[in-house]
Structure 1
Amino acid sequence: MGDDRTDRTAVRAEAEQHLRAIVGRDDARLHDDQWAAIEALALDKRRALVVQRTGWGKSAVYFVATALLRARGAGPTVIVSPLLALMRNQIEAASRAGIRAVTINSTNLEQWDEAHAAVAAGEVDVLLVSPERLNNPSFRDEVLPRLSATTGLLVVDEAHCISDWGHDFRPDYRRIRTLLAELPRGVPVLATTATANQRVTTDVAEQLEVAGEEVLVRRGSLDRESLHLGVVRLRTSEQRLAWLAEHLRELDGSGIVYCLTVAQTQEVAQHLRDHGYAVAAYSGQTEPTERASLEAALVAGEIKALVATSALGMGFDATLGFVVNLGAPSSPVSYYQQVGRAGRGADRADVVLLPGREDRDIWAYFGSLAFPPERLVRQTLEVLDVAGRPLSTATLETEVELGRNRLETMLKVLDVDGAVRRVKGGWESTGRPWEYDAERYARVAEARQREQEAMLAYLETDVCRMRFLREQLDDPVADGPAGDCGRCDNCGGLRVSTSVDEGAVAEARARLDRPGVVVEPRKMWPTGLDRLGIALKGKLKRPAAEGRAVARLTDLGHGQALRDLFREGPDGPVDGPVPTPLVRAVVEVLQEWRPSVDAIVVVDSTSRPTLVRDLASGLSRYLQVPIVGTWSVVDPSVPPAAGAANSARRVAAVGRRFALDLSQHDGPPPREVLLVDDRIGSGWCLTLAAHALAEAGVETVRPLVLAAGS
């Protein structure tokens, strides 16, 4: 084929033919950085890290490299990707170029055997794998070794997830370290991301390194030339909701309205539907099949917007005209990733952020879910050591003061660190020594705090907003006056109206002031109670009836008043009577709900006794029924929140702390009881109270609380 220069020129021409097939355009050409990465992978068999903005064409790099490698006899490409929507789009793009792609993820269990067989038979060019598969015992022990031995290219998409410095760190991604170490020499590796600052870039590159081989890093400008950024500061939740209802139709095309919580997505979506918009709520709680349908509708422009949490991750084929954030994410890096889902394949996309008072409370809540303290980690390891056999996560829950998700995340970290191992039947101890890296966790926590401060600075800055974000991501070409975008509100390239019609505000206020959240009763006892000496299991024989809360603590409307009410003072909980606006809200709930009750039982409180008693007394007067008993604290040595992290331990703690006292009631038990408390978290306190009342002969128990926890 001639000299190396001629060979590489010919290969680039071949690569561009594959690119044209993928994108469906005869004039498509590779960027120089795209070719540099493809050349390193397909010809030099190197490891490369590509940090480039969304829409730059990172997926083209690994599909073109795959086509080149497969044509030269290499094994299939394995792509680790966390985004199911992106997987679907990648498979479609691959098929256009004649690249045969299949996926293994949580939504297609029935296709796994077929996919494995196709890979083994050499019928697959690309296997897309969700990171969770990497730590599945059978996949890890049976499939992964074969892939390691036969793969022609390993691709790690959203590679910032590898780094615990990354904004979206996922423990499952740490298993990739093991996969990298087991790859035969000469197998190329590509890591890609659009959202990595220099610290994360360095961390990921170091993890890709093998002895004596330098990782190729291609890091380009993160400027998104189609995006027009702006911030609208409005004082109240109803003003922000009204602004959205009034101005959403002025934004071109279809897009995403991001909210910080699941509850907010539902509330906002309903308000927009009431104003004639074709929108839908989307979150981690949305069923997988419905997610796919909603994503397809958005990409096709069949709906105006998805009102979504950060669970929405779009693929590269989406062309969206706008992104609106109703509430600020906790870091500029997270925000850059979300706004980057707009403007692909479009000349212009408007991006508007409407920050709220409640944002920092929500950041604090999610921040509380960080890696557990050493005491709980050691306790988990000790339980596994003593057991001497695999224990399921459900079993460990009964022994450790951690909720299911947080416990699972911790175990995945311990697995990668070699202290535990996931096996069929659960988790087992390896017996290897393990050190709690308190210094690292402290550094990560400090970094998160700095990110939050930077996000607050973004809201107030008078400099170019795109430049601000690029500098936060250590964009190598963001320095200097030339770094100003000329498109944002501070540069004069976007004018966003801050006016809100008073009528629209009144309508939004009416929605947000509309109290009443259904409290669904617990119907099953948690597993593992027998191991705590409690003889309860299966279905509750007589569960509580459906109850009501005024609002969720995360809601936009009464949620703010409830957050203020339950905010800790410098000396602990602040007690007092129910504030007048919440009294009115309780009355509205009762007027709509109209519960049939003939007595009230109040849940005892040691932290806010005045609040709970005042609530119960007011309800007694309004409903004209007596307070006949108390779910009383009988063992104050058990802390109020003991066991709150998981269900079985919470049931045990509540059972020790409380007992039913109906001594102030004469005669037969009341038939229908209103069970009153200030707030509901896990629901087990009210469930056990209702169980005790049923055991005492009460027919129906209806819970009523001021606040629901989420």
Structure 2
Amino acid sequence: MSATTDLPSTPTEVRRRAEEHLQALVGSPDAALREDQWTAIEALAVARRRALVVQRTGWGKSAVYFVATLLLREQGAGPTVIVSPLLALMRNQIEAAQRAGIRAVTINSTNLEQWEETHRAINAGEVDVLLVSPERLNNPGFRDEVLPRLAATCGLLVVDEAHCISDWGHDFRPDYRRIRTLLGELPDGIPVLATTATANTRVTTDVSEQMGSDTLVLRGSLDRESLRLGVVRLRTAQQRLAWLADHLAEQPGSGIVYCLTVAATQEVADYLRSRGHEVAAYSGQTETTERQALEGALIRGEVKALVATSALGMGFDAKLGFVVNLGAPGSPVSYYQQVGRAGRGVDPDPGATVVLLPAIEDRDIWAYFGSLAFPAEEQVRQTLEVLASEGRALSTANLETHVELSRTRLEQMLKVLDVDGAVRRVRGGWEATGRPWSYDAERYARVREAREREQQAMLDYLSTDACRMRYLREQLDDPDAVDCGRCDNCGGLTLDATVSQAAVSEAEERLGRPGVVVDARKMWPSGLSSLGIGLSGKIKAGASEGRAVARLTDLGHGQALRELFRDSTPDGPVPTGLVRAVVEVLGDWRPRVDGIVVVESERRGALTADFADGLSRYLKKPVLGRYAIVDPDVAPGQGAMNSAQRVAAVGRRYSLSLDEDVAGLSVLLVDDQVVTGWTMTRAAHALRDAGAAAVLPLALATQS
């Protein structure tokens, strides 16, 4: 978009031109900027300032940066760079930008094949807006070759979902911390806009300080006049599913049913479809093309709901009539963000309905996500020492063989260390910089304590008899919070908590149907040779596809399994309900079994022995031996944080001990639960080496 020759010269003319752009953007000749929107646009496009906009979802933050982009491009400025973590939001924004004649492109993990062409278009001045995911900011090629050029030539930098910059924010992402460096490298006079709908005072202060002392902070009311909030408390997972089946059709328009786990999205969507509802599952594991199709179907009202994890984030074009949360997020701030997906562009009367169906198991899921916090200092120091001693770049996979952290936590930790200057991401992996680094234990502890307070605040939201919208706004430090008059506690929403017996019965049948496929490992982890283990590449003789009764996170048998495996539950025989579930799994699976081998357990020895003996009696097949504990000094679960460490630990802890020959036999390999899958894999490998024709894993539970 080239500069025009007739540029507006007075504030009135600039505002008139801005409103013309807004009208093209939203497709309405009557659209007009509100005063707070104009204040933000004027700061960016006229004063060339930095601004932090904290406004509710649906306020029009994206309109601000698109209109500012058009004004700046007319003045001859370079392209706008928007950093956004939500791929769905990126797609919505590109479509909106194109309506206003803005040439927008994106660089993210789903369009690798387009990067070269996108870079060429940027260099040729053919791009008005570039949307990038935060992960791109520290990709070595992008960081070293593309980012410096963009920093020098961009006309506006936009940081969307800016609460991610702050580790006080509910959705802190280490990649976002790279933005602090980018801000410092921008030439004078390049305006910066940071936007979020979910920042309390502490997060707002943190982000504005990172942007600079002269940052303009525009914070508005966080009331959502179109939302009617309510809570329905039901005792069992079956009742909650039944409520959805009975009452989903009553919800206005199309919407989202949020779940806390990927497994739940599949389980709930399958059940609702069986009850005649047009729904589909959506998560971070959904293939990109399918995601786009599902987002379009939701926006067009072609489905009643998407049953989704928090991976689903929509742009301002989505007009949704409801959000139902099956399980509570871990903080009121996260919840406010999710419910904000509803009610955009919806008339406040009757408005959009927001329902929360909390569950006891929510706390277990919060605890799991809490376990992914920043590692202990010992593990961080060990990582730095390994990199320093090697004196060269090491891949994450190679580092896994030295540090007992999962790949996800290791990657997250390295990103923080990168921003702190202790390591640097390069082609081929990570290298130490040699710069001094201190472990800020006090800050990490404060963040952990803040998370715990947020979880308690979420529990208090469930039980409060005060206005629910006011409660959420006060959690976000909204000084103008008042009673909404629309929620169930204010009397503006009445929710029917009754469920039909037919729906409950079908939910019980659905959730009571046990059986989860346990996929066999196909490849040995890389780097085992450095641990003295001669295994690599494809697993040529391993396990066949197996089964488990349920995932620990499942809504049905998951609850019984979580109780069984709590530390406070004493070791003992398989509970009767789970015995029946195992029998049902075997009836559906119908494996050919010649004999049984049991994986010994130190903590659940009685359980696994009873499991194997019971199977032997039921199947009338002998127990042929054990995958026996030979080195109890190797702790149960040791190395479980990454694959290479776990394979090594399992090899030291266990050895195959057979009472009978297994040559040519089909062996049922029995364990209490599958965590990483490597115990089953090494046991199956040992059995195949001993001549077994097939190894079929069977467990009570799986963690994934």
TM over 0.5: yes
Equivalent residue in structure 2 for 1:692, among 681, 686, 694: 686
What is the SS of the residue equivalent to 2:10?
Answer: helix
Matched, 1:394 2:388: no
Task: Name the residue aligned to 1:168.
Answer: 171
Q: Tell me, which stretches of 5 or more residues in structure 2 are unaligned?
A: 1-7
Q: 1:232 touches 1:355 (CA, 8 Å); kept in 2?
A: yes
Between the aligned partners of 1:546 and 1:70, the Cα distance in structure 2 is 58
Q: How does 1:247-286 map to 2 (within 5 A)?
A: 247-286=247-286
- Asked if the contact 2:151/2:187 (under 8 Å) is kept, the reply is yes
Aligned partner of 2:333 in structure 1 is 333
Name 1:610's counterpart in structure 2: 606
Residue 576 of structure 2 aligns to which amino acid in structure 1?
T
Partner of residue 363 from structure 1, selected from 363, 366, 370: 366
Q: State the superposition RMSD in angstroms.
A: 1.0
Cα offset, 1:102, TM superposition: 1.1
* C-alpha displacement of 1:123: 1.3
- Is the counterpart of residue 624 in structure 1 residue 627 in structure 2? no
Please give the alpha-carbon distance, in whole angstroms, between the structure 2 residues aligned to 1:373 and 1:574. 30
Alignment of structure 1 residues 58-73 onto 2, 5 Å: 58-73=61-76
Work out the number of aligned pairs and report it.
694
1:669 pairs, out of 651, 663, 669, with: 663
Q: Distance in 1 between matches of 2:148 and 2:487?
A: 50
Question: Which consecutive segments of 4 or more residues in structure 1 shift more than 2 A?
Answer: 667-670
Aligned partner of 2:112 in structure 1 is 109
What secondary structure, in the 3-state scheme, does the structure 1 residue paired with 2:172 have? coil
* 1:599–1:670 Cα contact (<8 Å) kept: no
SS at match of 2:329: coil
> Identity of aligned pairs, percent?
74
Distance in 1, matches of 2:415 and 2:408, equals: 11
**Deviation, structure 1 residue 556:** 0.2
Q: How does 1:41-60 map to 2 (within 5 A)?
A: 41-60=44-63
The question of whether the paired residues in 1 share the 8 Å contact of 2:662 and 2:687 is answered with no
Question: In the superposition, relative to structure 1, how do residues 486 and 536 fare at CA in structure 2: closer, same or farther (>3 Å)?
Answer: same
Q: Tell me, what secondary structure is at the counterpart of 1:678? A: strand
From 630, 634, 640, give the equivalent of 1:644.
640
Check if 1:546 corresponds to 2:545: yes
In 1, the alpha carbon distance for the partners of 2:671 and 2:408 equals: 27
CA distance in 1, matches of 2:578, 2:148: 60
Q: Secondary structure at the residue paired with 1:421?
A: strand
Tell me the alpha carbon deviations over residues 129-175 of structure 1, each in whole angstroms, 9 at most, x when there is no partner: 11111000011001111111111111000000000001111111000
Q: CA deviation at 1:6?
A: 8.0
Q: 1:476 Cα deviation (Å)?
A: 2.2
Distance in structure 2 (CA, Å) of the matches to 1:512 and 1:53: 38
Quick check: 157-166 or 287-296, which moved more?
Answer: 287-296
Q: Is the contact made by 2:488 and 2:494 (CA closer than 8 Å) also made in structure 1? A: yes
Paired residue type of 2:61: K
- Quote the residue 1:582 is aligned against: 578
Is 2:506 the counterpart of 1:503?
A: no
Shift of 1:437: 0.5
Tell me the secondary structure at the aligned position of residue 578 of structure 1: coil
Q: Look up the match of 2:493.
A: 494
Contact 2:277 2:304 (8 Å CA) reproduced: yes
**Contact 2:198/2:336, CA 8 A, preserved across alignment:** yes
Query: What SS class does the counterpart of residue 660 from structure 1 fall into?
Result: strand
Whether contact under 8 Å (2:469, 2:483) holds in the other structure is yes
Distance 2:672 2:90 in 1: 45
Q: Which amino acid aligns with 1:618?
A: G
My pick for the range that moved more, 558-567 or 64-73, is 64-73
Matches within 5 A, 1:116-131: 116-131=119-134
Q: Distance in 2 between matches of 1:129 and 1:521?
A: 36
CA distances 1:15-38 after superposition (whole Å, capped 9, x unpaired): 111111101111111111111111
Is the contact between residue 264 and residue 555 of structure 2 (CA under 8 Å) also seen in structure 1?
Answer: yes
Contact 1:598 1:670 in 2 (8 A): no
Three-state SS of the structure 1 residue aligned to 2:588 is: helix
Counterpart AA for 1:590: L
- The yes-or-no answer on 1:194 pairing with 2:188 is no
1:704 aligned onto 2:698: yes
| Secondary structure of the structure 1 residue equivalent to 2:64 | helix
Q: Could you report, residue by residue, the CA deviation over 1:438-465 in whole angstroms, capped at 9, with x for unpaired residues?
A: 0010000000000000000000000000
- Equivalent position of 1:310 in the other structure: 310
Q: Which deviates more, 20-29 or 231-240?
A: 20-29
Structure 1 counterpart of 2:355: 352
Mapped partners of 1:235, 1:244: distance in 2 = 14
| Residues in 1 aligned to 2:117 and 2:680: alpha-carbon distance in whole angstroms | 47
Q: Does 1:683 align with 2:677?
A: yes
Inter-CA distance 500–336: structure 2 relative to 1 (3 Å threshold): same
2:663 partner amino acid: P
Which string of whole-angstrom CA distances, capped at 9 and with x for unpartnered residues, describes residues 269-313 of structure 1? Answer: 000111111111111111111111111111111111110011111
**Does 1:233 find its partner at 2:233?**
yes
- Structure 1 Cα separation of the partners of residues 474 and 544 of structure 2: 54
Provide the residue aligned with 2:631 in structure 1: 635
* Paired residue type of 1:188: P
1:544-565 superposed Cα distances (whole Å, 9 cap, x missing partner): 1111100000000000000000
Rounded to whole Å, the distance in 1 between the matches of 2:442 and 2:570 is 34
The 3-state SS of whatever aligns with 2:167 is coil
The 8 Å contact of residues 371 and 410 in structure 1, kept in 2 or not, is answered as yes
Structure 1 CA distance for aligned equivalents of residues 622 and 98 of structure 2? 70
Q: Which amino acid aligns with 2:254?
A: S
State the Cα distance separating 1:669 from its structure 2 match. Answer: 3.5
Using a 3 Å threshold, how does the CA distance of structure 1 residues 6 and 69 change in structure 2: closer, same or farther?
Answer: closer
**Which amino acid is 2:93 matched to?**
Q
Give TM-score scaled by structure 1 length. 0.97
Aligned in 2, Cα 1:121/1:16: closer, same or farther, shift over 3 Å?
same
Give distance in 1, aligned partners of 2:173 and 2:418: 13
CA distance in 1 between counterparts of 2:99 and 2:236 reads 49
1:627-663 C-alpha deviation (Å, 9 max, x unpaired):
110000000000011110111110000000000000x
Question: What is the CA–CA distance in structure 2 between the aligned matches of 1:540 and 1:152, rounded to whole Å?
Answer: 52
Q: Distance in 2 between matches of 1:629 and 1:686?
A: 14
The one-letter code of the counterpart of 1:509 is E
Q: Where does residue 425 of structure 1 map in the other structure?
A: 428
Deviations 1:77-130 (A, max 9, x none): 111111111111111111121211111111111111111111111111111111
- 1:222-273 superposed Cα distances (whole Å, 9 cap, x missing partner): 1111111100000000000011011101111111000010110000000011
Asked if 2 retains the 8 angstrom alpha-carbon contact of 1:220 and 1:476, the reply is no
